[in-house]
Chains A and B, each alone.
Chain A
């Protein structure tokens, strides 16, 4: 279904890699909220996220994000400042502190220094800002990645397997954080079961098709996203 207020509108969107379909031409719309996307990495899930984040050109079809047609450069330029993407195993460098990492991202997103301090405080990273990324435990490292991704307060965020490697006690707390990152958050996991219960909608990628799962428990989704 495509609503007038959809954040993501894909019309006949198809993605190919190496001569085969990663996503066969598909039409779908995503409104605000937390949307889960399940499928193993080999299913082409990262490529779909990159395409939705305008870093990859679709093979066919049209794509609108936040009301802009992003198949052209003008639309991409307009919308990129409002997007955030955090890949699985996101890159940083040895010797870089969490604070430097977020400041680095802030520079490219055109944000002032005070925005770095604000996001570090919001994500409870002020004490860890001087620690090197390599030294951080997995949950704090994820927080630093999220802070770098969201330092410019994006309207639409894509997260590729953010909870991979996070222990159960920290998971619940981080899910609350993830839901509040932006009005629309697209989050992935290899198994749909990991997404049910806290995502408003869950899609699965199978055989190059996107299928919406109707079995979504609403325990977390009663809390609106973006708060």
Chain B
């Protein structure tokens, strides 16, 4: 083993930062796991989850780096009075810390990738997103380490964590949320992260990290030749900041896709990222479709649409919008279809409040929910007494009144 290898091994043993890898990895993995859309397997959302984990993992790495720098300060008597460059000690520390941070990040990325892969995935892995996250995390580490070197006090450790955490969660200005780590929360199907923006963010992190490291080494060694990377890094940061500032559009771009469908007995089509939901949606929506058959609200096709796209249902097609596949999503889809059956204009009119209550009674049946308490107990009792076939037959004849919330008590006195 070379002398440098021996020293690196001693450094790693001495400061014991590798003991922090499991803790950092666990912290990042939990954050990323919670950030993933429940039940949705979508590569772009996986990248967003990585950024979310970086916002938590970063401050933890910064605190660790500050603590290591604090401990290393005690060794300045050996490493500072050196025949070698005074930058060697800090560079070795940063190397060890970088390996620690990236090891934890690799575990987090693996957890996110496995969770996305075990479901039927959609989209394509964003390598640039992975790289941007890694570089951003390294910047956190550099900031923490330099803070510990410049202000070698115990208070620097929590201060480094607090300041970097605040940078992750509270950005000044309207466009700064695009700076690394970008605050993109969830990437829902139909949209994707813009690769060019991810590249810009990766370059910004690279520039900032280079600027901080070379700036510190320059102050330490006062070597004139360090001015070159210093100026280059400053130019890179300035350029990428201006470019990111000029990005008025959201960090997302529409993403082409092909519906994943299940054809029988009902045609249900969703984004491929939600393919796993097809059987349960089919099972949940078929009874509703059956109850509505023969009425103007009948449907034979259910289509999943983006959040901002609300076409008028008709011609046997209804639309659903699911934010994720968290428990109860089938019922939420049923409710959305049921609400789309009602005329919002008349049902929201206070003059039709009584009719709206009768429609709610029918809706409860359509959705297999508990019937609401109704003032007209006779109507509720009558409706409750009918069997399934009688109710369907009744709905075919009274659909228009149900749709416009104009049902009356006498509409329930048929049999």
Contact = CB atoms under 8 A, between A and B. Distances in A.
B80 A93 contact: no
A84 interface: yes
B71 A91 contact: yes
A78 to B, nearest CB: 11
Interface string A70-108: 000100000011011111001111011000100111011
Given A91-B75, A93-B14, A96-B13, A81 B6 contact: no
Given A73-B222, A91-B74, A85 B81 contact: yes
The size class of the interface chain A forms with chain B is 20 to 34
Given A55-B76, A73-B221, A110 B81 contact: no
A162 to B, nearest CB: 13
Interface in B64-102: 71, 74-84, 88-89
B338 to A, nearest CB: 67
Contacts of A73: 221-222
A80 B81 contact: yes
Contacts of A91: 71, 74-75
B82 A109 contact: yes
Nearest to A55: B80
B35 to A, nearest CB: 37
A222 B373 CA distance: 108
A96 B14 contact: yes
Q: Considering residues B14, B76, B77, B82, which has the most beta carbons from chain A within 10 angstroms of its beta carbon?
A: B77
Contact of A100 (B10, B88, B89): B10
B232 interface: no
Q: Considering residues A73, A80, A103, A108, which has the most beta carbons from chain B within 10 angstroms of its beta carbon?
A: A108
A152 interface: yes
B312 to A, nearest CB: 71
B4 interface: yes
A43 interface: no
Interface residues of B, number: 25
Nearest to B76: A55
A92 B14 CA distance: 7
Contacts of B83: 80-81, 108-111, 152
Contact of A86 (B10, B77, B82): B77
A3 B63 CA distance: 49
A54 interface: yes
Contacts of B14: 92-93, 96
B340 interface: no
Contacts of A111: 83
Contacts of B4: 107
B110 to A, nearest CB: 30
Contact of A107 (B7, B74, B77, B221): B7
A90 B77 contact: yes
A1 B68 CA distance: 43
A84 B82 CA distance: 9
B10 A110 contact: no
B15 interface: yes
B369 interface: no
B81 A104 contact: no
A119 interface: no
A37 B113 CA distance: 62
A48 interface: no
A110 B76 CA distance: 15
B3 interface: yes
A53 interface: yes
Interface in A151-182: 152
A53 B16 CA distance: 29
A148 interface: yes
A81 B15 CA distance: 25
Contacts of A93: 10, 13-16
Contact of A104 (B16, B74, B78, B221): B78
B72 to A, nearest CB: 9
A109 B3 CA distance: 12
A186 B92 CA distance: 31
Nearest to A87: B77
Contact of B77 (A55, A103, A110, A152): A55
Interface in A188-206: none
A164 to B, nearest CB: 16
Interface string A37-71: 00000000000000001110000000000000000
Contacts of B3: 107, 113
Contact of A80 (B6, B16, B75, B82): B82
A59 B410 CA distance: 97
A96 B10 contact: yes
A91 B3 CA distance: 21
Interface string A100-135: 100111011111010000000000000000000000
B17 to A, nearest CB: 12
Contacts of B79: 108
A55 B81 contact: yes
29 contacts: A53-B77, A54-B81, A55-B80, A73-B221, A80-B80, A83-B81, A84-B81, A87-B77, A90-B74, A90-B77, A92-B14, A93-B10, A93-B13, A93-B16, A95-B13, A96-B13, A103-B6, A104-B10, A107-B84, A108-B78, A108-B79, A108-B83, A109-B81, A109-B82, A110-B82, A111-B83, A113-B3, A148-B78, A152-B83
Interface of A: 53-55, 73, 80-81, 83-87, 90-93, 95-96, 100, 103-105, 107-111, 113, 148-149, 152
